[in-house]
A and B are shown apart, each in its own frame.
Chain A
Amino acid sequence: MPEAGHHELTPAGHLFEHLVLFGRFLRVLGLDVGPGQIITLGEALNYIDIGKRREFFYAARAILVHRREDLPIFDLAFEYFWRPRRNPLLIPVEVNPDLVRRQLRMPPVELFRPGGEKPPERKRDDLVVLEKQLTYSPVEVLRKKNFEAFTWEEVQQAKALMKTLVWRISPRRTRRYRPGRDRRHPDFRRLLRKNLRHGGELVRLAFREPKFKQRPLVVLCDISGSMERYSRMLLHFVHTLTNGLDQVEAFVFGTRLTRITRQLRRKDIDEALAEVVRVVDDWSGGTRIGDAIKTFNYRWARRVLGQGAVVIIISDGWDRGDVSLLAREMARLQRSCYRLIWLNPLAGMRGFEPLARGLQAALPYVDDFLPAHNIESLEQLGRLLSTLGERRPVRRQQAVLPAATAG
């Protein structure tokens, strides 16, 4: 029990409390700080001169931060928390996360409500009814219905339906091996091991086969104004992908590119999208696809396109940026990934022609061009992903496919 007015605490004991508070403070700001690290920092103070503020700063940073993107947050948080006072000891200020969020210009939490419409109040038992409604024929209708014509109820049904889709990307051969039966590839290590007991005579044979692994998937989704009617459903779709596959990286772009992988990891779709809204600040604005892809190429490509990744761009191709830039960056993107797929929600319309200038510039570098306007088209994408094959596609200019042709 803390005693009021008891100031005779040893500096170390006092300090350790502050360290714990500081750790909690960093966690509130989203840093991954565990108790183990706080203890390590406490230990480090045996060697570090805490009177030297810089030294303490660097020590705390090296121990508590382990992601580059957290460094600027830590720097500000440190300044804020360990503000030097008149007292020679460093005394932390009151922890008030909201205040700090404001100071660090972190946007407040908001709810995800595209188009400003409010979802009607729902009770629990309604949801059960909805599931029962998903009998065959309504499902068929729903599968073919264009996302843009969805009512709120249909969105809910579609969410449930999307959850049932199974995602599988055709695997990639890795350089690791596992025991196998293919008699063409003897496994010498196991061969000798198994037969040592027979005095080195090869009595029992052993073979190996390559191990296969799922390819990483990268999704870049357009959330600009022209995509507004689709972006909600498509983000639901991206969310199901993130939760249904192992390695998925997700980004959204309008005028700038934002990585939303972490946000989408939340299991609950509504919470996940609320998080996305919090970090994205160019909803329903203009589009500069070329810039977005360029940012991706420069900042992210090398990090997320390893191991034969498949890239999906979801956009209508209405671009207000530099078209030659888009073409150039698309070419580079195609060169650095295993398969480049473009999904266009408008391609599902009858008589669709890819007239959007952005689309025209990008198409020569796209391996597959598919519609994405209803659930059926997403299933079609699913089929494509599971039949990618072992080789990169032969890349040349592709003729534009009409609406529902599987690749």
Chain B
Amino acid sequence: MKRPLKGSQSLRMMNSPREVQEALEQEKYVADQGLATAIFLALKLNKPLFLEGEAGVGKTEIAKVLASALKTRLIRLQCYEGLDVNTAVYEWNYPRQLLELRLIEAAGQKASREESLADIFRPEFLLKRPLLQAIEDNQPKPPVLLIDELDRADEEFEAFLLEVLSDWQITIPELGTIRASRPPVVVITSNRTREIHDALKRRCIYYWIDYPTFEKELAIVRTRAPGVPERLARQLVAFIQELRRVELYKVPGIAETLDWAAALAALDQQDLTEEAVDSTLGVILKYQDDIARVRGNIVRELLERVRQAEAVP
């Protein structure tokens, strides 16, 4: 295929979901049509992309890949309980302000109180946190703002975010209102440990990322772990696919598949044997209950199914 520009360079100018899909592929991210459409629309309509899905299906990865495909910088806000404006938006650098105040005094200038206050509430004493960074960013290309695991933050923050995402401006009492010249590309992820309010989600382009199909997962392993022998790759993906059907407390995600592929390759495995699975089970299952349940009979059964599937051309 002939392309005048390197595909990724013009992701913002892409004209169809298909082209987005190709650009992501160049960044080694395998996206299906639904996801590519959602990303395409988020870019075209300037709306936040809201990604939900089980842990480890590659939600956060999308933001990273987007930033690199758009050749712009990634600003990440990791959410946690208790996250507040001071860590998400801005904070004054109080120690430096105090120091400045002492310096003014020491210089013996008889400045009025208002003047010295204006002196110390200057942008240089402002500590910019991710949201402010993203809004203030004046690079030629708008940054990608990743708001990761929003479900971990509490509702107060969600309400604040709703405001920022609709107006793209932040008011700092001492400095005034800072408006984004161009809104950043926003990616919000949630693991659904709690429901995010509908009002926020309604403003977004929503996509639920499911566990991948066999073909898609194999494609992911091939692109992300090229060192793994083809036969082993097929076997381990087939095994993971079967394993996801077993009732587990924590089902392995794509991240686990890739870790496992790397682990098995590092152990120089050519073939998925019961011993190999047994000794690496901790890479894909993270709960002792799950490991105890699967080890032995279930592993043997799953391996048997993998072999049978292999036998069918």
Q: Is the CB of A306 within 8 A of B194?
A: yes
**Contact pattern, A 28-55, Cβ under 8 Å of B = 1, otherwise 0:** 0000101011001001101111000011
Q: Is the CB of A66 within 8 A of B193?
A: no
The listed residue with most B CB atoms (<10 A of its CB), out of A66, A174, A297, is A66
Please measure, in the bound complex, the distance between the C-alpha atom of A63 and the C-alpha atom of B39, giving whole angstroms. 11
**Contact pattern, A 177-202, Cβ under 8 Å of B = 1, otherwise 0:** 00000000000110011001101100
Identify which of B205-213, B227-235, B267-275 touches chain A. Answer: B205-213
Residue A175 is within 8 A (CB to CB) of chain B in the complex? yes
Residue B164 is within 8 A (CB to CB) of chain A in the complex? no
Q: Using known A-B contacts A32-B202, A49-B16, A175-B82, determine if residue A71 contacts B249 with beta carbons closer than 8 Å.
A: no
B84 and chain A: residue at smallest CB distance: A176
Q: Is the CB of B86 within 8 A of A189?
A: yes
Please measure, in the bound complex, the distance between the C-alpha atom of A34 and the C-alpha atom of B37, giving whole angstroms. 21
Q: Give every chain A residue within 8 A of B206 (Cβ-Cβ).
A: 62-63, 65-66
Within 8 A of A (CB), among B9-44: 15-17, 33-34, 37-38, 40-41, 44
Q: Using known A-B contacts A68-B52, A199-B105, A200-B98, determine if residue A44 contacts B44 with beta carbons closer than 8 Å.
A: yes
Please measure, in the bound complex, the distance between the C-alpha atom of A37 and the C-alpha atom of B203, giving whole angstroms. 8
Q: Is the CB of A66 within 8 A of B17?
A: no
Q: Using known A-B contacts A47-B40, A58-B38, A200-B101, determine if residue A66 contacts B81 with beta carbons closer than 8 Å.
A: no
Q: Give every chain B residue within 8 A of A63 (Cβ-Cβ).
A: 41, 205-206
Residue B204 is within 8 A (CB to CB) of chain A in the complex? yes
Q: Is the CB of A44 within 8 A of B45?
A: yes
Residue A392 is within 8 A (CB to CB) of chain B in the complex? no
Please measure, in the bound complex, the distance between the C-alpha atom of A199 and the C-alpha atom of B91, giving whole angstroms. 20
How big is chain B's contact interface, by range? Answer: 35 or more
Q: Using known A-B contacts A58-B34, A66-B50, A189-B86, determine if residue A196 contacts B193 with beta carbons closer than 8 Å.
A: no
Q: Is the CB of A197 within 8 A of B81?
A: no
The listed residue with most B CB atoms (<10 A of its CB), out of A37, A55, A71, is A55
Q: Closest CB-CB distance, B124 to chain A, in whole Å?
A: 16
Q: Give every chain B residue within 8 A of A65 (Cβ-Cβ).
A: 206
Within 8 A of A (CB), among B72-99: 81-82, 84, 86, 91-92, 94, 97-98
A36 and chain B: residue at smallest CB distance: B202
Total contacting residues, chain A, CB less than 8 A: 42
A33 and chain B: residue at smallest CB distance: B202
Q: Give every chain A residue within 8 A of B16 (Cβ-Cβ).
A: 49, 55
Q: Is the CB of A303 within 8 A of B52?
A: no
The listed residue with most B CB atoms (<10 A of its CB), out of A44, A47, A176, A307, is A47
Residue B276 is within 8 A (CB to CB) of chain A in the complex? no
Within 8 A of A (CB), among B229-255: 247, 249
B47 and chain A: residue at smallest CB distance: A40
Q: Is the CB of B249 within 8 A of A298?
A: yes
Please measure, in the bound complex, the distance between the C-alpha atom of A167 and the C-alpha atom of B251, giving whole angstroms. 37
Q: Is the CB of B117 within 8 A of A62?
A: no
Q: Closest CB-CB distance, A242 to chain B, in whole Å?
A: 15
Please measure, in the bound complex, the distance between the C-alpha atom of A118 and the C-alpha atom of B294, giving whole angstroms. 52
Residue A20 is within 8 A (CB to CB) of chain B in the complex? no
Please measure, in the bound complex, the distance between the C-alpha atom of A324 and the C-alpha atom of B113, giving whole angstroms. 74
Q: Closest CB-CB distance, B77 to chain A, in whole Å?
A: 17
Residue A302 is within 8 A (CB to CB) of chain B in the complex? yes
Please measure, in the bound complex, the distance between the C-alpha atom of A44 and the C-alpha atom of B205, giving whole angstroms. 11
Residue B198 is within 8 A (CB to CB) of chain A in the complex? yes
Residue A59 is within 8 A (CB to CB) of chain B in the complex? yes
Residue A304 is within 8 A (CB to CB) of chain B in the complex? yes
Please measure, in the bound complex, the distance between the C-alpha atom of A47 and the C-alpha atom of B204, giving whole angstroms. 17
A175 and chain B: residue at smallest CB distance: B82
A63 and chain B: residue at smallest CB distance: B205
Q: Give every chain A residue within 8 A of B37 (Cβ-Cβ).
A: 48, 55, 58-59, 62
Q: Give every chain B residue within 8 A of A200 (Cβ-Cβ).
A: 98, 101-102
Residue A24 is within 8 A (CB to CB) of chain B in the complex? no
Q: Is the CB of B198 within 8 A of A32?
A: yes
A294 and chain B: residue at smallest CB distance: B247
Q: Give every chain B residue within 8 A of A44 (Cβ-Cβ).
A: 41, 44-45
Q: Is the CB of A47 within 8 A of B249?
A: no
Residue A61 is within 8 A (CB to CB) of chain B in the complex? yes
Q: Give every chain A residue within 8 A of B84 (Cβ-Cβ).
A: 176
Please measure, in the bound complex, the distance between the C-alpha atom of A210 and the C-alpha atom of B171, giving whole angstroms. 26
Q: Closest CB-CB distance, A58 to chain B, in whole Å?
A: 4
Q: Is the CB of A189 within 8 A of B33?
A: no
Please measure, in the bound complex, the distance between the C-alpha atom of A405 and the C-alpha atom of B201, giving whole angstroms. 46
Please measure, in the bound complex, the distance between the C-alpha atom of A192 and the C-alpha atom of B86, giving whole angstroms. 15
Interface pairs (22), CB distance under 8 Å: A34-B202, A40-B47, A46-B44, A47-B41, A55-B16, A58-B17, A58-B38, A62-B34, A62-B37, A62-B41, A63-B206, A68-B208, A174-B154, A188-B94, A189-B91, A189-B94, A197-B113, A197-B117, A200-B102, A303-B193, A303-B194, A304-B194
Sample of 19 further A-B pairs with CB below 8 A, known A37-B202, A66-B204, A304-B194: A44-B44, A47-B15, A55-B16, A62-B34, A62-B205, A63-B205, A63-B206, A65-B206, A66-B206, A67-B201, A68-B208, A71-B208, A175-B81, A176-B156, A192-B94, A193-B92, A298-B249, A303-B192, A306-B194
Nearest 5 CB-CB pairings of A with B: A175-B82, A66-B201, A58-B37, A62-B38, A192-B94
Q: Which residues of A contact B (CB under 8 A)?
A: 32, 34, 36-37, 40, 43-44, 46-49, 54-55, 58-59, 61-63, 65-68, 71, 174-176, 188-189, 192-193, 196-197, 199-200, 297-298, 302-304, 306-307, 332
